[in-house]
């Protein structure tokens, strides 16, 4: 638990630093781009090991309630973000909903963390991704890596 909390603190510190950066930043270099990518990397680590329940334990240990709208088995990224960011000022409820949908859609396609932001931009708007998730849509070229079942999804290596 201490290691997980330390990871959370590192993410928040870097997110805050990046919020103050000036100049032209690519979407992946922005504060939110960094936060999404690195949160995704951490959450995927737990999901791939079959340890998604860990997120519930973190949330409960922090004394917070679990949502009844989202089921852990359906979207562990929602719970992962809730566990990583206890403070809604870092990731608001609306952002958690959006980010977790984007992450879930990417994970089902086998997208590694380093390609997350680009994949999200190519996949479409919040509404499009929500619709695609509901329909079980598969992005062109990902037919062999797509998995509707979150427990069967695997990250591609593209090497």
DSSP result, the chain:
-HHHHHHHHHHHHHHHHHHT--S---TTTSHHHHHHHHHHHHHHHHHHTT-THHHHHHHHHTTPPPPSSS-TTT-HHHHHHHHH--STTTS-HHHHHHHHHHHHHHHHTT--GGGHHHHHHHH--HHHHHHHHHHT---TT-TTT--SSGGG-------
What is the tens place of the pLDDT at every residue in 52-103?
899 988 888 876 666 667 777 789 999 999 999 988 889 999 999 999 999 9
Residue 102 CA to residue 119 CA, distance in Å, equals 9
CA atoms within 13 A of residue 153's CA, in its CB half-sphere: 26
Residue-level pLDDT at 18 = 94
Instruction: Quick: pLDDT tens for 101-142.
Output: 999 999 999 999 999 999 999 999 999 999 999 999 999 999
| 39, 112 contact by CB (below 8 A) | no
Q: How confident is the model at residue 156 (pLDDT cuts 50, 70, 90)?
A: low
What is the pTM for the complete model shown? 0.90
Q: Is the pLDDT at 158 greater than 70, yes or no?
A: no
For 133-155, give one letter per residue: b (16+ CB within 10 A) or e. beeeebbeeeeebeeeebeebeb
- Distance CA(80)–CA(94), nearest Å, equals 15
Which residue ranges make up each domain of the chain? 1-135
Please tell me the predicted confidence (pLDDT) of residue 159. 45
């Amino acid at each position: 638990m201490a290691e997980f909390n330390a990871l959370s603190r590192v993410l928040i510190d870097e997110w805050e630093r990046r919020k103050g950066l000036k100049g032209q930043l690519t979407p992946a270099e922005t504060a939110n781009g960094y936060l999404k990518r690195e949160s995704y990397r951490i959450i995927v680590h737990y999901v791939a090991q079959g340890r998604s329940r860990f997120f519930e334990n973190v949330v409960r240990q922090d004394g917070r309630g679990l949502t009844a709208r989202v089921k852990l088995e359906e979207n562990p990224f929602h719970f992962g973000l809730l566990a990583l960011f206890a403070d809604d000022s870092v990731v608001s409820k609306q952002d958690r909903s959006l980010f977790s949908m984007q992450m879930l859609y990417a994970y089902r396609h086998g997208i590694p963390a380093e390609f997350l932001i680009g994949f999200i931009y190519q996949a479409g708007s919040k509404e499009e991704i929500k619709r695609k998730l509901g329909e079980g849509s598969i992005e062109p070229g990902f037919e062999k890596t797509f998995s509707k079942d979150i427990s069967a999804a695997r990250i591609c290596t593209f090497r």
